[in-house]
Every structure is written in structure tokens, then in C-alpha cells.
Amino acid sequence: MFKPKEEESTVEGIVKQIAILNSVQDTHLGYLNVIANAPEDIEERITENQLMKLWQRCQLVALALSMALDNMPQWKNWNKCCEEAVQITKKMGITANP
């Protein structure tokens, strides 16, 4: 999911990754867009709490990727993007930080 395709630039790959992560919240089954090799009975097995945490983590990673797009020329550090995203999501009440 996170490796840009050969014909994509890094920016294009990141934009597509953000779209995939944001699609998790589009429908009740949107989470299937980010779970590789999901078992057929995942709908019965995944709990509401697990779904909530997955949605929150997708928001966090999408935010970090967005911050990378905006700030990488200055920050040049993925960890900085993640740290900033975690701080912002904490302020928003998102508790599923790594």
C-alpha cells in the first residue's frame, strides 16, 4: 500500500495513500481498503472498538502523510511528521496513537 508504483512520483504516491486511508471512513466496509488478506468473516470478527481504533489510526497516518507533503522540504524527517501528527490528534481526542 505504501510503496509508490514505478510510474508514480513520491508526491503522487503519497496523495494516493492519503486517499486510501481516508476511504476507510467512506462506508461501513471502508476498512477493507487497508486490511490485507482479510478473512471472509472479518465483518463478524472485528469489534466496534477495533474499528474505531483502525479509523483513528488511519486518520493519524493520513495526517502525518499530509504533513510530510507540506513540510518535508524543511523537516526532512518522517519522525517529525509523525510526532506532530500524534500531538495534533491527541488534541482532537484521538486515543489510538501508536
Q: How many other C-beta atoms can be found within 10 angstroms of the C-beta atom of residue 41? A: 8
26-68 pLDDT tens trace: 998 899 989 888 888 998 999 999 998 999 999 999 999 999 9
To the nearest 10 degrees (0 to 180), the angle between helices 78-91 and 48-75 is 130
The pLDDT value recorded for residue 95 is 77
CB 90 within 8 A of CB 97: yes
Q: Where are the domains of the chain?
A: 10-91
Average pLDDT over residues 72-90: 86
Residue 81 has pLDDT above 90, yes or no: no
| Distance of alpha carbon 70 from alpha carbon 53, whole angstroms | 26
pTM here is: 0.83
| Nearest-5° Cα angle at 41, 35 to 46 | 60
Cβ atoms 75, 81 nearer than 8 A:
yes
DSSP structural state of residue 1:
-
| Cα→Cα distances 95→21, 26, 50, Å | 17, 21, 12
